[in-house]
Amino acid sequence: MRKDNDQRIYLNDDDPTVVYLKNVIDDPDIQVGEHTYYHDEKNDPRDFVKNNVLYHFPEFHQDKIIIGKYCSLASGTTFICPLANHNFDSLANYPFPIVNAHWALDESFFSDDKVCTLKGPTIVGNDVWIGYNSVIMPGVHIGDGAIIGTRSVVTKDVPPYTVVAGDPARPIRKRFDDDTIEKLMALKWWDLPDEEIREFLPELINGHIDAVLEKKWLGDAARTVIERLGNTK
C-alpha cells in the first residue's frame, strides 16, 4: 500500500489506461513502491505481470523484480526474467532440461544453473522514467532518477540520474551536474512522507535544488522544536 493507504487502482477514475502498479500486483516476487504507475493504451494495465514480465515461472526459478517509488513506466515496458537466458555453459543452445518429457534426463539436470544463466534480482531505483517499449534484461540495476529512452534494451547497470538509450542502451548524458546529483542522492525525497514532499513540491518541480534543501532543512528544524516542546509538557 502507498503511505497514504490509498487503494485506488487508477490514477484517475475516468482513465483506465494508467494504474498504480503496487495495487494491481499480488506476486510476492515482484515488489513495487508507492506512487509508481504504468500506462498502457493497448492492453489492460492491470495485467502487467501477465503481459510485461516474460519468462517468469516461479515454480522453476525464483525471480526477483524490485521497482522503487515514484517510477513512471510507459506502455510496453517489459522485464525479461532469467529463464529466458539459456545455459551459456552448455555446448548446445537448445534447453534440453526444459523439454525433458522427450529426453528423460536425470534430476541433476534440473538445477537452475543447468537450465539458465543465473542472474541476481532486477532492481529499478526510485523516480525512474522508463520509455515506450523498453526492455529490461534480468539482473540489471537501474539507479535512482535515471531515464530509459524509448525502445531501449537495457543490458547493463545504469548509474543514478543518467539518461540511456539504444539497443543495447548506452549512456547519453547525466541529467544534472555532479553536485546536484550528490544533493539529490542525499535528500532521497522519495522516502519522505507525502505531507513533507508537499512543502517543497513547487521547488522540486521547477528544479531548484538549493531551495528544496532549504525548505527541507527548515521543515526538519521546525518539527524538532515541536517535538521538544511536546516532550516538556
- For the cut 60, the answer to whether the pLDDT of residue 120 exceeds it is yes
Global confidence as pTM: 0.86
Mean pLDDT of the chain: 87
The C-alpha angle 10, 14, 19, rounded to 5 degrees, equals 15
In the prediction, which pLDDT does 160 show? 98
Give the number of residues written for the chain: 233
CB atoms within 10 A of CB 150: 12
Is the pLDDT score of 215 beyond 80?
A: yes
State the catalytic residues. Answer: 86
Instruction: Give the CB-side neighbour count of residue 78, counting CA atoms within 13 A.
Output: 14
Say whether 123 sits in a helix, a strand or coil: strand
